[in-house]
Amino acid sequence: MAKPPTPEAEDRRRICRERKVLVSERTSHANRIKGLLFAQGITGYDPLRRDRRERLDDLRTGVGRVLGRQLKAQLIRELDRLELLFEHIKSVEAERDALLAADVADTPVALLLDLKGIGPESAAILYTEGLFRKFDTGGRLSLCRACADALAERINRPRARRLKGWQSSAPDNNDRACLAVAALPARVSALSLVPRTSRV
């Protein structure tokens, strides 16, 4: 049975969702800047670099002219918006890290952060969005283990992907994430049965 999240759990989800929106806006502003410059025949300018303002002064159009006054003013305003987004993203990430640090000891967050390939953002999303489930009974736990075994078999099964005669059997990252999430309740329940002194 699906259980609605508590108001506190729903409020915790806002951090990762806000960061996703901010990153999307950052990409939009960066692409807008690149598009404005590309219309003038300028390529190779990266607005996400630290020296973006210094490099803006050295840009020349495709025919060798300096940037127009209004175009340069528009680009500077876009860079201002972009740098404001950098500050907001940094602030949201600091809040996210503080949330994870508060919930780390012997919790699903600690197990997620221990997994190779899962960083703070992925761990926060998996934890706050409710993709981790607590299994109280043995039947639910055995079902979870069966899901984890099925996903492990799917990941380890070779799949041929033909790209211009080249074959690859590399698994999708989504499969690995699903396996990690499915295996977590089993690991948590196993840890709760092992005395603290004998944990590895």
Amino acid 188: pLDDT: 46
Do the Cβ atoms of 34 and 45 come closer than 8 Å? yes
Alpha carbons 186 and 188: distance in angstroms, whole number: 5
pLDDT at 197 over 50: no
pLDDT in tens, 39-81: 999 998 999 999 999 998 899 998 989 999 999 999 999 999 9
Angstrom CA distances, 198 to 111, 155, 192, 193, 195, stand at: 17, 31, 12, 11, 6
pLDDT in tens, 11-31: 888 988 999 999 999 999 999
Can you give the pTM of this predicted structure?
0.64
| Of 198, 177, 195, 183, the residue nearest 135 (C-alpha) | 183
What's the distance, CA 170 to chain centroid?
A: 21
